[in-house]
Amino acid sequence: MSAQVPRSGNASRLAWGDVPDAVVAAIGERAGSGVATATGAALGFSPGFAGVVGFEDGSRLFLKVISSDQHPDSSTFNRREAEVVAQLPEGLGVPRLQWELDVDEWHVIAFEAIDGVPASPAEDAEHERAAWDALTELAAVRAPAGLPQFNEHQSDVFTYWRELAAAPGLEARLVGYDTAWILAHLDDLIRWEAQAVEATRGDRLVHGDFRADNLVIADGRAFVVDWPHASAGAPWLDLAGFLPAHQMHGGAPAHEAFRAHPVGRDVPQEELRAYVTSLAGYFVFHSTEPEPDHLPGLRAFQRAQALPSLRWLRELT
C-alpha cells in the first residue's frame, strides 16, 4: 500500500486501559474467567474499543466495548450489528455472536475470535481470491426476513448529488475533483442517483460496507466483520461498493474488476451507472464535510474512494 493512501484506523479509538474496572469485571464474570490480555484492533474507525481479549482459562473473544453516553451513534451501530449477526445463516464466513452485555451506559458485544490476518486483497493474490469468493458467497445468500431493503435502510445515499447542487459555494467545495465535468453533468447525476432506488432492490444479503479492513483472512478464507449496515438488495451491491476502496489501495480499475467478477457480468449498464453515481455522490459529499472530532482521518479516507468512484462513473457515461 502506498504511503499516500489513507488508512482505515482511528488514532483516538478507546484503549482497553480506558474501559472502566466495573465493565472489565463484568466481562470476566460473563465470560466465566478473568481478563488476562487485551489487544486492540489496528483498523476501523469506530471510537470504541475493538480487539481480541484473552481470558485466564485460555479462551479468547473479539470484543467491542463502547459508551452510549460518549458515542450514541456508534453504540447504536454496535447494537444493530449484534442483531444482524444473530440472524445470519450458519456456515457463512462471519465470526459468530457469542453474547451481549450492558453495564450502566456501557455496551459490550462478544464475537468468536478468528485466528487470521487483516486482508490485503490489492497486494496479495490469495487475499484477493478470498475476497472475490466472499463476494460470490454473499451474493448467493438470501437476506434474513428481518432485514430492511437497502434502498430503505440507506435511503440517504440516493440524495447526495441533489444536496450538493443545493449547497452554497459548490465550486469551492469541489476543489480537487473534476469540477468542470461534475458541473456539466450535475442534472444527469441527480437523475441517475434517483434511479438507484429501484436499481438496488433485491432479496440478497448486502453487507453494506465491504472493504479490506472489514475482512479477516484465515486458512485461505475471508471472514466478513462489522455488520451494522446490513440489508437486503441486489446481489452485486457489495462488489460495486468494494471496488473504489480496492482500486484506492492499488487494485484493478473498478470498471474492469466489476465486469470480470461473475456477480457483475450481467448487471444492466443503466442500473450499474445509477448505483455508481450514488456511491460517487456519497463519497464526494462526505469528503467535503468537516472532520468529525472522534473519527480523525475519515474524510481523507472517503476522498480517496471518491476519486476512483468518479473515474468509474465517467467510464460508465
Query: pLDDT of 106-121, one tens digit each?
Result: 999 999 999 999 999 9
Is pLDDT at 201 greater than 90 in this prediction?
yes
- Tell me what pLDDT residue 2 has: 40
- Tell me what pLDDT residue 3 has: 40
Is pLDDT at 21 greater than 80 in this prediction?
yes
Sheet holding 215-218, edge to edge: 117-118, 215-218, 221-224
**43-57: pLDDT as tens digits:** 777 889 999 999 999
Cell of 311: 473515474
3-state secondary structure of 105: coil
Got the DSSP string for 286-307?
HHTSPPPTTSTTHHHHHHHHHH
Cell of 2: 502506498
Mean pLDDT of 133-149: 97
Q: How far apart are CA 116 and CA 118, in angstroms?
A: 7
Give the pLDDT band (50/70/90) at residue 203: very high
How high is the mean pLDDT of the chain?
A: 94
pTM here is 0.93
- Tell me what pLDDT residue 11 has: 65
Q: How many Cβ atoms are within 10 Å of 176's Cβ, its own excluded?
A: 12
- Tell me what pLDDT residue 113 has: 97
- Tell me what pLDDT residue 1 has: 37
Q: How far apart are CA 272 and CA 17, in angstroms?
A: 46
3-state secondary structure of 77: helix
Q: Which residue has the cell 451501530?
A: 77
The residues pairing with 283 across neighbouring beta strands, listed in sequence order, are none
Cell of 222: 475471508
- Tell me what pLDDT residue 313 has: 98
- Tell me what pLDDT residue 292 has: 85
> Could you tell me the CA-to-CA distances from 54 to 57, 63, 215 in Å, in that order?
8, 10, 21
Mean pLDDT of 20-35: 98
Burial readout 275-286 (b: 16 or more C-beta within 10 A, e: otherwise): bbbbbbbbbbbb
Mean pLDDT of 191-204: 98
75 vs 45 pLDDT, higher one: 75
| Domains of the chain, each with CATH number or no CATH | 16-112 (3.30.200.20), 117-316 (3.90.1200.10)
Is pLDDT at 59 greater than 90 in this prediction?
yes
Q: How many Cβ atoms are within 10 Å of 26's Cβ, its own excluded?
A: 17
What is the phi/psi pair of residue 106, to 5°? Answer: -90, 140
